[in-house]
Structure 1
Amino acid sequence: MLGLPKATEMSKQLPKKAIYAKFQMNAAAKEKIDADISRITIVNEITPNKVNIPVGDEVKSFFVLLVTLKRKEFEEKTIATLSKLIPQNILFVLECGNESKLAIYHSKLMQTDWKSTTEQKVELKGLNLDKVWENLIRSLECGVWNVELTLDENIVLHEKQAKLEKEIAKLEKQARAEKQPKKKFELVQRVKELKSKMDVL
């Protein structure tokens, strides 16, 4: 799967019941997972001996989990919960029908757009598994990367940018609809302020 080396392939199903039992989940949490997920399978294990890439300080290995979804409009919190329950670095392949998207939970859920599962590919790029993992996250996370910042700092920066973009779009819409010239001018000025803030970021 994903064009990864054959040596990494495996097929181990994770029964949902076992997850519920291990983490003593309540009925509401079980229902949420059941509503979105029909099956969870470990399909790849990336370890130094299988891919000939040394361990990093943080990442010693990671897994690829194929999550078969019941619907495309899944609850993102379900995948975040799954990621927190399994104490491993996980690259999710969220599959629905013939399409899938890749996702990683790292302080938030980062995901690609839907595309045909047969076209999904990932590259293991990096001198060690820390770098490989970081590059995978970068490939999923949108936005311009600042090389002077750490991975987490870049993610925080992207969140700030997304928030500002939302605010700008909202104010621009208000300005277009505003009839009073004074109020319209104020809104336009506010948009300008936010845009210059965006440039600084």
Structure 2
Amino acid sequence: MFGLPQSTELNRQLPKKSIYSKFRLNTADRVRFDADIRKLTIIGEISPATVNIEAGENVTAFYVILVSLRTQDYDEKNIVLLSKLINQSMLFALEYEGKARLAVFCTKLLQAKWVPVKELKIKLIGLNLDAVWENIIIQVGNVEMEKGNTLEEQLAIDEEREKLRRQIERLERRARSEKQPRRKLEMVQQVKRLKSELSSLIKGE
């Protein structure tokens, strides 16, 4: 499935009751989880026993979980919750009405674009499972690695850039509607400082 070798295939149901029990979800949380997620299935195990790839120092195996959704407008917190269920690296294939997307948690939830289920492919690239897992995160998150950065460093830089962009957009909207000239000028100056900071981050200074 999803272009993975047949040797990796599993078909193991993951009962939602086990999630409710492990995290001691209250009734409201259970209702929200169930409203988003119809069924969970472990569909793949990537390990030296199933593929001709050596274990890494940090990643000795990872699992592919098919998440059958009830809605495309799901709460991302429910997917983050799943990532904490098992002390293993997990790649999620989210599926809804003939469309699918990959998702993985690495400091934050990273998600690929929706594509038709038949077009979704999981690429195993790397000499060991550490490299394979890192490349999957890069693929799913569409991460552009910059010279000299580790994946964790790159994700942190990207997050800071995105945070600055959101701040700039909010301030620019407020500045456009601000009536007091002095306050408007302060906002414009603040935007200028933030843009300078963002420019430095982009240039890697």
135-144 vs 43-52, which moves further: 135-144
Whole-angstrom distance in 1 between the partners of 2:7 and 2:68: 23
Q: Report the aligned-residue RMSD.
A: 1.8
Residues 22, 85 of structure 2: 8 Å contact kept: no
| Distance change >3 Å, CA 83–CA 174, structure 1 → 2 | same
Whole-angstrom distance in 2 between the partners of 1:24 and 1:173: 42
SS of corresponding position for 2:84? helix
**Percent sequence identity over aligned pairs:** 46
* Stretches of structure 1 lacking an aligned partner (at least 5 in a row): none
What is the CA distance between 1:179 and its match in structure 2? 4.5
- Give the alignment's TM-score, normalised by structure 2: 0.89
- Give the alignment's TM-score, normalised by structure 1: 0.91
| Residues 7-156 of structure 1 aligned to structure 2 (within 5 Å) | 7-156=7-156
Paired AA for residue 54 in structure 2: P
Residues 103, 140 of structure 2: 8 Å contact kept: yes
| Distance change >3 Å, CA 177–CA 60, structure 1 → 2 | same
What is the CA distance between 1:146 and its match in structure 2? 2.5
Whole-angstrom distance in 2 between the partners of 1:195 and 1:143: 22
| Distance change >3 Å, CA 28–CA 49, structure 1 → 2 | same
| Distance change >3 Å, CA 144–CA 180, structure 1 → 2 | farther
Aligned length: 201
* Stretches of structure 2 lacking an aligned partner (at least 5 in a row): none
Paired AA for residue 156 in structure 2: V
What is the CA distance between 1:137 and its match in structure 2? 0.8
